[in-house]
């Protein structure tokens, strides 16, 4: 997973807990619950579990929201959008623009950001 100004996140198995896998920063630091093995039975659930764990690690270890909507500057959350797990921005709720799907989970690094010449 990509995170601006950081090395990629990684999956980390803890030697004392061989059944548990965590999403960690490149330096091995992680926060939160392990990924749930039963999520592996459904690819969408597995991806949602990884996305949630990644957000928790970034939020608690780096004290920042991730990923951010390029249009609104708000933290996004994973949501099912017609059967595809996607990053959702709540822009409308804060009166900064309409809520919308920004990109599929796993595709943020391929998304072309809109140009805002006045920013």
Over the stretch 38-85, which tens digit does the pLDDT of each residue have? 778 888 888 889 999 999 999 999 999 888 888 888 888 898 888 889
pTM: 0.77
In this structure, the answer to whether residues 58 and 76 fall within a common structural domain is no
Residue ending a domain, choose from 21, 46, 62:
62
- Within 10 angstroms of residue 52's Cβ, the number of other Cβ atoms is 17
Rounded CA-CA distance 36/42 in Å is 11
In this structure, the answer to whether residues 82 and 51 fall within a common structural domain is no
Residue 82 belongs to what domain range?
Answer: 69-119
Over the stretch 16-44, which tens digit does the pLDDT of each residue have? 887 889 999 999 999 998 987 777 888 88
């Amino acid at each position: 997973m990509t995170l601006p100004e950081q090395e990629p996140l990684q999956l980390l198995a803890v030697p004392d807990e061989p059944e548990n896998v965590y999403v960690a920063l490149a330096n091995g630091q992680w926060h939160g619950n392990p990924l749930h093995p039963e999520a592996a039975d459904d690819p969408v659930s597995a991806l949602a579990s990884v996305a949630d764990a990644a957000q928790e690690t970034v939020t608690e270890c780096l004290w920042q929201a991730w990923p951010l909507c390029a249009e609104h500057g708000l933290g996004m959350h994973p949501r099912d959008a017609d059967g595809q797990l996607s990053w959702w921005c709540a822009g409308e709720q804060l009166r900064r623009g309409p809520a919308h799907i920004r990109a599929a989970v796993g595709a943020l690094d391929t998304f072309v950001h809109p140009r805002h010449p006045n920013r």
